[in-house]
Amino acid sequence: FFIAGYDTTSASLSHVVYYLSQNKDKQQILREELNALDTDFTYENLNQCQYLNAVIDETLRLAPPLGTIQRECVKEYKLGNTGTDPEFFPDPDQFKPERFLNPTHHPYAYLPFGCGPRHCVGVRFALNEMRMCIAKIVHNFEFTLAPGFQLTVLLVLLDAVGHVNTGVALVETLLTAGNRVIFLLTDRWRALLDIKHPNSRIL
């Protein structure tokens, strides 16, 4: 899981920085909690930082690195709805770490690492990694967004082995627009895109 989990953890850390940059008051609360620690950051004391853990939980609720986890989809499901049901999370589009300080939502309403026997094997490692990285960065730096910056999230469907499953038109559109996107493509799509975009690095 050391290899399989690096991209999901890095994506989550990027979203933490983004949401803290948007919410300076939350960033300051977290900084004060970290500054109150009398010793160097350790597994033990960071694990007890309630607001730090709430920031991570709220980030994973709003922007889970994997939008859905299941063996088989047995009924219709709207992508992007996991963790954003207002019945369980009032004001679901707002970044409110406080909602995880005393959580009241159903345990299956929040599933960033899955659940049951197929629960992510690397969950503890990932959370410890995020806690340490966030603590080090927030303790030493202040985040702010560049004027006019707006995060755009692209939802790309993948099949079980990581192939783009939305058709070559989407990938071609992204490359034509100059987006820096990494895809794992089938040989047929890779060859077709390489002809149309010879200067692109098609993996």
**184 bridge partner residues:** 163
The verdict on whether residue 115 carries a ligand-binding annotation is: no
Question: Cα(34)–Cα(43) distance, rounded to whole angstroms?
Answer: 13
Are 125 and 131 within 8 A, CB to CB?
no
Closest residue by Cα to residue 56 from 8, 104, 90: 8
**163 bridge partner residues:** 184
Determine phi and psi for 158, rounding to 5 degrees.
-125, 150
Written as six digits, the tokens of 192 are 């077709």
The secondary structure element, H or E, covering residue 11 is: helix 6-22
Question: Cα(190)–Cα(184) distance, rounded to whole angstroms?
Answer: 9
The secondary structure element, H or E, covering residue 189 is: helix 187-196
Q: Binding site residues, as ranges?
A: 120
Q: Binding site residues for heme, as ranges?
A: 120
